[in-house]
Amino acid sequence: MNRRDLLMTGAAAAATLAMSAQTAPKARPGRLKQGVCGGVLGRGVDLEQRCKIAADLGALGHDLVGQKDFPILKKYGITPTMLPGIGTLMHNSTDLSRHDELDRMATEVIKSAAELKAPNAILLSGNKWGQSIEKCLDNNEKFIRRIIKRAEDAGVTLCMELLNSKVNHPDYACDHTSYGVELCKRIGSPRFKLLFDIYHMQIMEGDIIRTIEQNFQYIGHFHTAGNPGRYEFDLQTQEMNYAPICKKIADLGYQGWISHEYSPRPGNPDPVKTLDAMLKICEV
């Protein structure tokens, strides 16, 4: 290759890099990395549309999307922030008889997360099914101990989701922060943390900012939604002010993702505009 060809090749490469920089999605401003879940734009919006809109708005993470859909996320520069696939919400590791099946599922999910460079995989406690809280904790602990070394070796964080048992998920075991924190203390691994769903814990406990501050070391991921209704979290229709909540999370030095899991209020004429407004609230 002569000097002229070399210069032309270098110029072409530079042009390609410049074009990539121009077309790469730009993250939302602020100190928090923001992402979305499946329902933020309402029904009838497929994954590709949702990813395009999210990328345009600077929400560059997407929760609860599996490996088969990763090419769509990759196309729009979206990170698969929380992989699903280890059992179901009701039937999970509180039930000892399911541990072998869940173990096989966990092997596949952790492997996929490592391959996709997904930071987290979701865990769900399962229902109590007439068992004591202590028995549920023991069974959850036994299962997590079976799989935690695989997660550690893969660099994947397993996040147990805190859900409310008062409105949406009756009998769910891990329904208070204290339950999840106790599990974290028992497991004692940086690769086992909590998915702190702000909507769910507002219903069960309230006192959101203080609870996050006191238990921050055990939290690996956040979900948002307004209460009541699990709709968008504007100040006109719901009881939480997300701006100071997000400011506290950022002030604590949080480096993970906060993913929006609300559903647009029925009759919402412009869910895209609403998502943009919710992202703006969390720019702290």
Tell whether 19 is covered by a domain. no
Q: How many residues does the chain have?
A: 284
Tell whether 7 is covered by a domain. no
Strand partners, 63: 82
**Residue span of the structural domain in which 143 resides:** 28-281
Q: What's 216's DSSP letter?
A: G
Tell whether 5 is covered by a domain. no
Looking at residue 2, its pLDDT comes to: 46
Looking at residue 24, its pLDDT comes to: 82
Report the CATH number at residue 94.
3.20.20.150
Tell whether 65 is covered by a domain. yes
Tell whether 191 is covered by a domain. yes
Q: Decide: 179 and 133 in contact? Cβ < 8 Å.
A: yes
| pLDDT tens digit at each of 284 positions of the chain | 444 444 444 444 444 333 343 468 999 999 999 999 999 999 889 999 999 999 999 999 999 998 999 999 999 999 999 999 999 999 999 999 999 999 999 999 999 999 999 999 999 999 999 999 999 999 999 999 999 999 999 999 999 999 999 999 999 999 999 999 999 999 999 999 999 999 999 999 999 999 999 999 999 999 999 999 999 999 888 999 999 999 999 999 999 999 999 999 999 999 999 999 999 999 99
Tell whether 57 is covered by a domain. yes
The single-letter code of the amino acid at 192 is F
What six digits make up the tokens of 195? 């998915």
Omega before 269 within 30 of 0, i.e. cis:
no
Looking at residue 250, its pLDDT comes to: 98
Residue 190 CB neighbours (<10 A): 12
Tell whether 1 is covered by a domain. no
Tell whether 209 is covered by a domain. yes
Instruction: Mark 139-159 as b/e (b = at least 16 C-beta within 10 Å).
Output: bbeebbeebbebbbebebbbb
Looking at residue 23, its pLDDT comes to: 66
How many folded domains does the chain comprise? 1
What six digits make up the tokens of 177? 């922060």
